[in-house]
């Protein structure tokens, strides 16, 4: 799990083959997918996930020959942007403008526009306009009705840069976000977090919007289609890959459990440890133990939480995992 501090050091273990550089992008500003001049702008993106956490981690490193971060200049343009869109359940389709509400595309206080914004924009896929670098205290603009998704505990970020407006230089951005299957404007109490697990396929893409002195110099796009910013059907398919073998610990204890039906107070435990394991020692939290790999145990009393520990051992050594207050016997 990377530490979000704006430093790229803890991403060095990620192989270069997992890096998305400028060559993966096309300039879709004019719709023709032109190649990008890397002396103008050059970027590297790494994406990761951590088992058990419904978060997507990003490392964004960018060189630009003209950093534009006046944000709202007299011509009405935004500053340089790293824009990402995520669709955690691959539901696809428009997610900014409801195609059944044509008036929704007209900005203003029209009742239909307000209805679309509150009930549709960003609901099933989320768009983040990330400022590079941030100005006026905001790190990202959420294109939708749920600005709360950009705040902790649903997102976290850190930058490293020493730039002046109009000058060249390098910026590093580290962040993580939480994808949502449902993200209503009412807030997180009504939201549904996307569940992330090994080999799941999600929708994801990003764009780099480069401004040079107020004029937009390009819209560099991973999906090679600018419609990705408002329609999740134009995102790329990303598979949540398992760790490479050389990245896995030699031995690591892990386990899960489930209550057995029609057997009172009986719990089935399953060993899910990594590495070469030769011996198992289960402590059921009440003085009882087992040396089986996948034991089944009937607790003597109900209505109690138990702290259960599995210790495994093998040629590479020992490891153990305790799950605190999770095993509840009804």
Tell me, what's the pLDDT at 229? 94
Q: Cα 44 to the chain's mean position, in Å?
A: 17
More confident residue, 14 or 233: 233
Question: Are the beta carbons of 204 and 87 closer than 8 angstroms?
Answer: yes
Q: 175 vs 130, 255, 308, CA distance in Å?
A: 10, 29, 34
Q: Give the residues across from 62 on adjacent strands.
A: 43, 171
186-200 pLDDT, tens digit each? 999 999 999 999 999
Select from 123, 178, 113, 177 the least CA-distant residue to 145. 123
Among the residue ranges 217-221, 235-239, 304-308, the one predicted with the least confidence is 217-221
Q: Cα 16 to the chain's mean position, in Å?
A: 20
**3-state secondary structure at position 27:** strand
Main-chain phi, psi angles of 111, to 5 degrees: -55, -35
**Are 9-239 and 249-329 in the same CATH fold?**
yes
d(CA 130, CA 256): 38
d(CA 73, CA 248): 49
Name the residue ranges covered by the structural domains of the chain: 9-239, 249-329
Tell me, what's the pLDDT at 113? 75
What's the CATH code, domain 9-239?
2.60.40.1190
d(CA 79, CA 100): 32
Tell me, what's the pLDDT at 300? 93
Phi-psi sector, 93: left (phi>0), alpha (psi -120 to 50), beta: left
d(CA 304, CA 109): 55
| Confidence bin at 30 (pLDDT 50/70/90) | low
Is residue 111 predicted with pLDDT exceeding 80?
A: no
Q: Measure the CA angle with vertex 52, ends 298 and 9; round to 5°.
A: 140
Question: Are the beta carbons of 294 and 271 closer than 8 angstroms?
Answer: yes
| Confidence bin at 279 (pLDDT 50/70/90) | very high
Tell me, what's the pLDDT at 76? 56
Q: Residue 173 half-sphere exposure, CB side, CA atoms within 13 Å?
A: 24
Average pLDDT over the chain, rounded to whole?
A: 90
d(CA 259, CA 44): 46
Domain 249-329: CATH superfamily, name plus number: Immunoglobulins (2.60.40.10)
Alpha helices in the chain (DSSP H): 111-119
d(CA 30, CA 99): 24
- What's the predicted TM-score (pTM) here? 0.76
Q: 161 vs 7, 17, 174, 307, CA distance in Å?
A: 10, 25, 12, 45
How many Cβ atoms are within 10 Å of 249's Cβ, its own excluded?
Answer: 13
């Amino acid at each position: 799990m990377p530490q979000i501090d704006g430093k790229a050091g803890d991403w060095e273990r990620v192989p270069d083959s997992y890096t998305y550089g400028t060559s993966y992008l096309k300039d879709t500003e004019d719709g023709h997918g032109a190649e990008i001049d890397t002396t103008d702008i050059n970027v590297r993106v790494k994406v990761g996930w951590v088992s058990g956490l419904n978060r997507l981690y990003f490392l964004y490193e960018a060189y630009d020959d003209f950093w534009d971060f006046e944000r709202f200049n007299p011509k009405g343009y935004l500053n340089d942007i790293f824009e990402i869109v995520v669709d955690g359940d691959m539901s696809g389709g428009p997610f900014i403008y409801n195609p059944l509400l044509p008036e929704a595309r007209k900005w203003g206080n029209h009742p239909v526009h307000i209805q679309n914004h509150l009930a549709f924009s960003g609901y099933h896929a989320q768009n983040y306009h990330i400022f590079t670098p941030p100005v006026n205290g905001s790190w990202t603009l959420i294109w939708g009705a749920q600005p709360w998704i950009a705040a902790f505990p649903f997102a976290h970020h850190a930058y490293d840069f020493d730039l002046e407006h109009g000058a060249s230089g390098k910026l590093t951005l580290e962040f993580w976000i939480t994808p949502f299957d449902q993200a209503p404007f009412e807030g997180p109490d009504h939201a549904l977090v996307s569940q992330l697990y090994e080999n799941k396929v999600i929708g994801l893409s990003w764009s780099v919007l480069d401004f040079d002195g107020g004029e937009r110099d390009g819209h560099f796009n991973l999906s090679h289609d600018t419609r990705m910013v408002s329609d999740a059907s134009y995102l790329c398919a990303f598979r949540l890959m398992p760790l490479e073998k050389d990245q896995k610990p030699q031995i690591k204890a892990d386990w899960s459990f489930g209550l057995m039906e029609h057997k009172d107070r009986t719990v089935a435990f399953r060993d899910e440890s990594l590495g070469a394991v030769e011996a198992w020692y289960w402590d059921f939290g009440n003085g009882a133990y087992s040396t089986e790999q996948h034991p089944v145990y009937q607790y003597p009393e109900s209505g109690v939480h138990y702290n259960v520990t599995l210790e495994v051992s093998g040629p590479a050594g020992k490891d153990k995992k305790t799950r605190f207050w999770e095993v509840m016997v009804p």
